[in-house]
């Protein structure tokens, strides 16, 4: 957790250049949209599969929140989404806590262990817990058309989109790092004890 807390402010600084493990990494920020959370119960998941759909135990104030992405470019390689963030307030995190779902307990984790969702399609997302009552992407009538729309702003090797479900509900989707994997999310807590951010880490800086 301490490593994530140290890396977060660097990754989410526009134009930051970071030397890490012999690699030169450049970071830029990209707006991915605004996620509607009418229930205040948020889900981070791969929206194109049916697993890991349980919302986090920590709820937030219902609203519509900015989602932005930390894009990472390494010399000679394509651009990737390193982390995805929902910003609930403009305050800075003072403490980070792992985002947990029902039944998950930190005390059950071994050294280096973490909870997270599995991306099988190379896609991640933020959405309200009630979004899957509106649409189940795993059984989308025209999944090919959805994927074409999702990759509409594709560049090697990243993409994102804000996908409307109805007038109240949407999903913000994005490529998950360099593809398939299991990814943890963290809530940022400000000095006043309020949740100010939620970040999913795509494990590109390990």
- Mean pLDDT of all residues belonging to the chain: 87
Confidence at residue 82, expressed as pLDDT on a 0 to 100 scale: 96
The pTM assigned to this predicted structure is: 0.90
Q: What is the DSSP letter of 191?
A: T
CA-CA distance, 32 to 50, in Å (whole number)?
23
Q: Domain ranges in the chain? A: 2-201
- Report, as an integer, the average pLDDT of 125-153: 67
Task: Average the pLDDT over 193-206 and give the result.
Answer: 94
Sheet holding 160-164, edge to edge: 42-45, 123-128, 170-175, 160-164
Helix or strand run (H / E) with residue 11: helix 2-11
DSSP single-letter state for residue 15: T
Chain segment 1-55, per-residue pLDDT in tens:
558 888 899 899 999 998 888 888 999 999 999 999 999 999 999 988 766 678 9
Average pLDDT over residues 137-166: 66
Contact status, residue 84 vs residue 124, Cβ threshold 8 Å:
yes
Instruction: Summarize the confidence of residues 92-121 as an average pLDDT.
Output: 93
């Amino acid at each position: 957790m301490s490593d994530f807390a140290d890396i977060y402010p660097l990754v989410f600084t526009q134009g930051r250049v970071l030397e890490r493990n012999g690699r030169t990494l450049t970071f830029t920020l990209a707006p991915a949209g605004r996620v509607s959370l009418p229930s205040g119960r948020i889900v981070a998941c791969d929206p194109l599969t049916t697993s890991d759909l349980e919302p986090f135990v920590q709820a937030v104030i219902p609203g519509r929140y900015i989602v932005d992405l930390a894009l990472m470019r390494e010399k000679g390689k394509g651009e990737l989404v390193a982390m995805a963030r929902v910003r609930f307030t403009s305050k800075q995190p003072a403490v980070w806590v792992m985002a947990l779902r029902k039944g998950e307990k930190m005390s059950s984790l071994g050294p280096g262990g973490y909870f997270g969702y599995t991306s099988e399609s190379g896609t991640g997302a933020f959405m309200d817990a009630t979004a899957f009552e509106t649409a189940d992407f795993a059984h989308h009538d025209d999944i090919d058309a959805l994927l074409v729309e999702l990759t509409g702003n594709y560049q090697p090797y990243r993409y994102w989109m804000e996908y409307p479900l109805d007038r109240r509900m949407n999903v913000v989707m994005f490529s998950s790092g360099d593809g398939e994997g299991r990814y943890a999310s963290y809530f940022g807590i400000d000095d006043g004890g309020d949740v100010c951010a939620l970040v999913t880490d795509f494990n590109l800086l390990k």
